Amino acid sequence: MIRKEAMKIVLEEIGNDPIISANGFISRDLFELNEKKTNFYMIGSMGLASSIGLGVAIKNPKKTIYVFDGDGNILMNLGSLTTIGTIKPKNFIHIIFDNHSHESTGGQPTNTRNISISNIGKVTNFYVFEINDINYLKKILKKIKKISGTIMIVIKINNSKIRSGRVTLDPVFIKNRFMESL
C-alpha cells in the first residue's frame, strides 16, 4: 500500500471532518485527492501538525479532528505526544503514514525503522492501531467511530514514484476558509 492509496481510503470514511495535514507529500496528496475547505494544509513548520490539531480539538469538542502526519514529521515533535496524552482529547485522531523515511526530501531513513512509533503512542496514552493492509484499515476506520478516545492509527506504507503536485493555494486563504468551516 502506498500513501496516496491509504489516504484515499481514509478520506472516504471521514467525510467533512477537519484535517490538519503535515507539510511535504502528505499535504500534496491530500490536495490532489480531496481538496476542500476543511483541510488545513501545512506548507512549512515541519512537525507541528499534531500540535495544531490538539489546539483545534480542545476548542471544538463536538467535532472529530484528524491529523495527517508522517513518521519524519512526528519524530520532530515527539514531545507533543506527551502533551496530547496528558490532555487526552476524546475527539483527536492521529493518523501517521509511516514509510520509515523522509520521502519528500529523497527517501532518507528515519528512526521508525528501529523504534516503533506505535509503542511510543501506547506509552503516551493513545489508543493505538497499527495497519499493514487495506482490509484491516477499512475495518479500523469503521471501528474507531464507536470509540471515544485519543486515537493513533499508524499505517505502514511503501514509498512510491507517484508524485502529487504542490499545494497552490495562498496560505491566508487556506486559513480563512478553514476557520469559517469550523
Partner 1 sequence: MKKLFQHEIVDFFVKNSIENFVGVPDSTLKQFISYALKKKKVIITAREEEAIGIATGMALSGSNSLVFMQNAGFANSLSTITSLVQLYKIPLIFLIGWRGYLKEDAPEHNKIGKIQPDLLKIIQLQTKIISDKNWKEGCQWAINKIESNKSCALVIRREFYD
The residues of the shown chain that bind partner 1, judged by CB under 8 A, are 20, 40, 42-45, 47-60, 77, 79-80, 82-83, 87, 171-172, 174-175, 178-179, 182
* 102 vs 156 by CB, closer to partner 1: 102
* 51 vs 164 by CB, closer to partner 1: 51
Give the residues across from 109 on adjacent strands.
Answer: 101
CB of 22 to partner 1, least distance (A): 11
Closest among 122, 120, 118 to 130, alpha carbons compared = 118
CB of 78 to partner 1, least distance (A): 8
* 63 vs 122 by CB, closer to partner 1: 63
Render 10-77 in DSSP notation, one character per residue: HHHHHTT--EEE-TTHHHHHHHHH---TTEEE--S-TT-HHHHHHHHHHH-TTS-EEEEEEHHHHHTT
Closest among 151, 157, 147, 144 to 124, alpha carbons compared = 151
* C-alpha cell belonging to residue 146: 464507536
* 53 vs 70 by CB, closer to partner 1: 53
* 82 vs 119 by CB, closer to partner 1: 82
* C-alpha cell belonging to residue 28: 500534496
CB of 120 to partner 1, least distance (A): 13
SS3 state at 121: helix
